[in-house]
Chain A
Amino acid sequence: MALSRLSLRSTTFLKPSSLRRHVSTDTTPITIETAAPFTSHQCDPPSRSVETSSAEILSFFRDMARMRRMEIAADSLYKSKLIRGFCHLYDGQEALAVGMEAAITKKDAIITSYRDHCTFLGRGGELVDAFSELMGRMRGCSNGKGGSMHFYKKDACFYGGHGIVGAQIPLGCGLAFAQKYSKEENVSFVLYGDGAANQGQLFEALNIAALWDLPAILVCENNHYGMGTATWRSAKSPAYFKRGDYVPGLKVDGMDVLAVKQACKFAKEHALKNGPIILEMDTYRYHGHSMSDPGSTYRTRDEVSGVRQVRDPIERVRKLLLSHDIATEKELKDMEKEVRKEVDDAVAQAKESPVPEASELFTNMYVKDCGVESFGADRKELKVTLA
């Protein structure tokens, strides 16, 4: 028997277990209110009532738990020196990656910065491909040639993975340009941080996107710190959703996966009709900027643990699932155990996979090599003609 449930934030309604639906496949629509309202700029905000289903909310939980586990595993791997160089972790921000995917298709494009592991997973990337890439193995999504900051999945319209702060913004507007040029009814989500929000090229690209009506959705992942610099120290106006001036904007609770879904759905509809829009996602990262940053020289430990207690995206969904009687505590704990095993297995598999062959040094320089020569450190010792 299907029950429609409206605004059940405070109601507890325990159904006897024999009558409970098999929750992981229950797609009966239910409507849930976001915890906070949207704030808008130059547009009417979307409704706080989000259409979802038990199955979807459960999938949110599982997907976010998987992302969380992956980032924690990456932390250990970095500390054991299996991951080298830069490693920027996303734990705390999972609701963004998951909520966005729920609102869009794999034909919509996503491009982001170097904090890209979870975005890759959200686009359908495999855990083992992610860990292999992090450890520089051939099995990695970029054959070990990219590293943490350069994950891509073109078949799911995920265009990376970019190390230069802000560069992804004009690139993302270019993706939107191509979608409009080819008359596709798809949009591009262009993710950047509060640090990148001050980049000149953002305004250059936004100007062109607005002039040419490109279906570009600029998503500012405001985790309040650009590396170690808090927003109030780097932006005269930290109202990032308003910085587009003539471009409409929406401020969203980025720790509420349903709010993220609603905002992205709204933005996609808007962008297809009216051109660019800015979404400012209020979010938080538990780790420092990267694995070299303890994250404590510019913020207090109390602040971090405070957010974890009150705003953690996974805990919020757990509470939602429990209060709506969609799953029991044990079911959720079991799910987390499964996810942990998934991640551990992927790590083990990745650890076993081989490093790229030496010949890979010279591959993929060009699509069309036309007899180009390439040299090793000692050009008389190592010289290759690219085929």
Chain B
Amino acid sequence: IREKMWGILRQRGIDGGGLSLRRTRSALVSARSYAAGSKEMTVRDALNSAIDEEMSADPKVFVMGEEVGQYQGAYKITKGLLEKYGPERVYDTPITEAGFTGIGVGAAYAGLKPVVEFMTFNFSMQAIDHIINSAAKSNYMSAGQINVPIVFRGPNGAAAGVGAQHSQCYAAWYASVPGLKVLAPYSAEDARGLLKAAIRDPDPVVFLENELLYGESFPISEEALDSSFCLPIGKAKIEREGKDVTIVTFSKMVGFALKAAEKLAEEGISAEVINLRSIRPLDRETINASVRKTSRLVTVEEGFPQHGVCAEICASVVEESFSYLDAPVERIAGADVPMPYAANLERLALPQVEDIVRAAKRACYRSK
């Protein structure tokens, strides 16, 4: 009977007489709704200013990584810090991730606050034992004696044309580990607030940036520019309010989801876009509250689809909000292949705006 019902619903969808869809356009909410500040800031500058301010405020904070000092940072995130704070606060390391990450964790055991940069998170695999076994689990294994106030940061996920070994997204891997906190900023405000929170946090934080977002500018409020500004860890942000379908994602895909929401709005579908900001802890409350409002879920991530962040979100929603769902949950993720180099194949390997739009329409029982 259920299949039949869905068949009927789908039919209605095609006919355009949708049962539960509202045709009224949602009030135009700016995709980037910030306080009325006219200032803009790139994500790069946001990260740089966050590290700068935290180093200024706390002498225990230091930066360590490949090319972070003299080279000014492989992606210029640590630009100017060596000149400002000197070689006793900014350390250029040899290309030895296992070694310097372990040293960073040991320094954190002793009470310092290292900010360890991985040139990309692909290289973190060389040091992953230290992130997980030496950092994440220590507070638990020592029953609270040894806490690890360290931040592991760097670009994560696909860049442009860098191939299979340089394009993996590690959000799902790190976020599965109890004892870690995993953050993924999208906007400049996210970058500032979350990085400052991460550096101040007494627990190990994996901070997943995105290379392609570094150069993007975002409006930034006076509040966000203040040196005491901090965002809470574990709270997602509703970037755009909507009524018909919930789109949940993080990092660069937030921008794609917002574009998809614009396209959907043109077709009378009001999408709510949630920017996770925090992968672990995952803000299940905000996600579920939204799905209970819209009855439909589309999750989006760049990373590999199997056992991904989207899988966890879908499971959470099916477990906690089953009776509210009017459609199967949808996952849009990177293709289940190592990242190819050729531009056309790379495009096929990553979620595009049209994929998100299509999934949202499927959830609304609208075919193309």
Contact check, B107 vs A177: say whether CB atoms are below 8 A apart.
yes
A254 at the interface (CB under 8 A from B): no
Q: Which of A171-185 contact B (CB under 8 A)?
A: 171-179, 181-182
Q: Which residue of B lies closest to A180 (CB)?
A: B88
Contact of A170 among B103, B108, B144 (CB under 8 A): B103
Q: Are B106 and A181 in contact, CB atoms less than 8 angstroms apart?
A: no
Residue in B96, B110, B138 whose CB lies within 8 Å of A109: B110
- Does the CB pair A205–B142 fall under 8 Å? no
- Cβ of A227 < 8 Å from any Cβ of B? no
Q: How many residues of A contact B (CB 8 A)?
A: 54
With beta carbons under 8 angstroms apart, the residue of A142, A177, A181, A366 that contacts B203 is A366
Is A6 part of the contact surface with B, judged by Cβ < 8 Å?
A: no
A141 CB to nearest chain B CB (Å)? 8
Instruction: Check A211–B141 contact: CB distance below 8 A.
Output: no
Q: Is A374 an interface residue (CB 8 A)?
A: yes
Rounded to whole Å, the gap between the CB of A157 and the closest CB of chain B is 8
Which among B112, B140, B181 has the greatest number of chain A C-beta atoms within 10 A?
Answer: B140
**Interface stretch (choices A26-34, A54-62, A145-153, A255-263):** A145-153
Instruction: Return chain A residues, CB-CB under 8 Å to B101.
Output: 170
Bound state CA distance, A176 and B96, in angstroms?
18
A211 to B91, CA, bound (A): 11
How long is the Cα–Cα vector from A373 to B286 in the complex, in angstroms?
13
B206 to chain A, nearest CB (A): 13
Q: A181 and B88: CB pair below 8 A? A: yes
Question: Quick one: which of A169, A174, A207 contacts B108, CB cutoff 8 A?
Answer: A174
In the bound complex, what is the Cα–Cα distance between A150 and B146 (angstroms)? Answer: 11
**Chain B residues in 8 Å Cβ range of A152:** 142, 145-146
B366 in contact (CB, < 8 A)? no
Given A181-B88, A201-B98, A201-B102, does the pair A174, B110 have CB atoms closer than 8 Å? yes
Mask, B26-40, CB within 8 Å of A = 1, is: 000000000000000
* B319 CB-CB contact with A under 8 Å: yes
Select which of B140, B146, B232, B280 is within 8 A of A160 by beta carbon. B146
Q: Is the CB of A178 within 8 A of B179?
A: no
Cβ-defined partner of B102 (8 Å) among A144, A150, A171, A373: A171
Bound Cα distance from A154 to B201, whole angstroms: 20
B110 near A204: Cβ-Cβ < 8 Å: no
B139 interfacial by beta-carbon distance below 8 Å: yes
Of residues 157 through 199 on chain A, the ones whose CB sits less than 8 Å from some CB of chain B are: 159-164, 167, 169-179, 181-182
Q: How far is the CA of A169 from the CA of B146 in the complex (A)?
A: 17
Bound CA span A182–B62, Å: 12
B217 at the interface (CB under 8 A from A): no
The reply to whether the CB of B147 lies closer than 8 angstroms to some CB of chain A is yes
A370 at the interface (CB under 8 A from B): yes
B233 at the interface (CB under 8 A from A): yes
- B128-136, B151-159, B165-173, B267-275: which lies at the interface: B128-136
Asked if A233 CB lies within 8 Å of chain B CBs, one says no
Given A170-B102, A201-B99, A372-B234: A162 touches B146 (CB 8 Å cut-off): no
Chain B residues within 8 Å of A161, by CB: 141-142
- Are B102 and A370 in contact, CB atoms less than 8 angstroms apart? no
When distances are taken between beta carbons in the complex, the residues of chain B under 8 Å from A205 are 99, 102-103
Contacting B103 at CB < 8 Å: which of A164, A173, A366?
A: A173
Q: Knowing A174-B104, A174-B108 are in contact, say whether A373-B281 is a contact too (CB < 8 A).
A: yes
Contacts of A201 in B (CB 8 A): 98-99, 102
Q: State A370–B235 Cα separation when bound (angstroms).
A: 10
Does B263 have its Cβ within 8 Å of any Cβ on chain A?
A: no
CB neighbours (8 Å) of A160 from chain B are 138, 141-142, 146
Q: Which 6 residue pairs of A and B lie closest in terms of their CB atoms, listed nearest first?
A: A174-B106, A170-B102, A204-B99, A178-B110, A204-B96, A143-B143
